[in-house]
Chains A and B, each alone.
Chain A
Amino acid sequence: MVQISTRRLDKTTILDISGDIDLAHSSEVRRVVLVEFREKKTPKVLLNLLEVNYIDSSGVASLVEGLKASRDVGSRMILFGLSPIAHEVLQLSRLLTIFEIYDTEEKALAA
């Protein structure tokens, strides 16, 4: 199960995601992220992954797709609060340097 709640701070949207971003739920994460960039043209979107327990390859693909969509419209997608497991998956995918990643929400907002 995955839950996504949205907070808006000025021109920034924070997506608080909890649960597993796996085959069963990655399409929902993908949909919400793409709406922020393609429809709302939000300049900066932060993905709060503090409560994400697991990310599989379809979840990673959704994040990559979100990143590409952000670049297409000149926006930024930032990840923060990665669990050790989420960090490990991005490391195995050799994607740690592709994403903007911060430890905390404060640092991500200030970036």
Chain B
Amino acid sequence: MIEILETPPLNAIQDLGRLGYRCHGVGRGGAMDRVALAAANALLGNDENAAGIELQLFPVRVRFAGDTVFALTGADCEARLDGRLLPPWWAMSAQAGQELVLSPPRQGLRAYLAVAGGIDVPEVMGSRSTQMRDGFGGLDGRALAAGDRLAAFPAPAFALRDGAGLGALPASLALAAADCPQAQPGETVLRVIQAAEYEQFDAASQAALWQTPWKVTAQSNRQGYRLAGVALQRLEPVEMRSHGIVPGVIQVPPSGQPIIQLADGNSAGGYPKIGVVIEADLWRIAQAAPGSALRFVSCTLEEARTAERAVAAYLGTLRRLAGYCRLPSLGKVA
């Protein structure tokens, strides 16, 4: 059991999202940084899709109401358990009554808190993730608030071999971003596959997409990131019919300033698509803060698949190594 003592709005329960409900207009939703959530679950031996808490605004203070093991991944929030500083991407035991405090991130944007067994909320349309816009999933379809008490599913009791806990190599160190010689330090490099309307853009716009930085504006959230940079122009303005879109789609509205649709983005849209950020790089956007810049690198389907396999291998290795660090806790067998 976790009790929320303090939280700003917009922090909510998420899993890896909904599949199979697009015919009702329901998109994937779920964690913005799917790799970080999956890694937190891997550290605990949870199902990869177990629900955790996505933290996007800070400070956050929670109290563990019972003994458990928890994992924190994603942004480095100087987490302290009863005042003791934890390394980022870390799992350890907590005793009943202990308090966990997270501060505004030193690096990254979104942190993920998972507990052994996963957060116990009802599945709605195959997922426990919170769809705030439509008010379902997670905890009654809403963000967490002080006073909320969250239960975890029962899990086989275990202890960590090392009382200090165990860590994971953060995804940003384990998974290489694409090469981009012109990228400046701190810029987020994303692999992009050209989309159906790429050829409709003029040569200067196509060149700008790959060669100039794209500033993440303050109008960036779970729905999408609005970017600022060179205005992208089509050769001819042609009306589009509304069509299904996926997280990662880079739409170009008539202003020429692109929008990347993300986890809570619309499931359909009518703006032309110049490209799509590959699935394996979406987590990098989740950690790119407003004010920072993105760089796009053209990518083939084969390169995308290689990147996707690297993510799967990273999570698989993490799950295996974490398994060695757990001991069945005989003392807790009823």
Tell me, yes or no, whether A binds B. no
B: residues with CB less than 8 A from A are: none
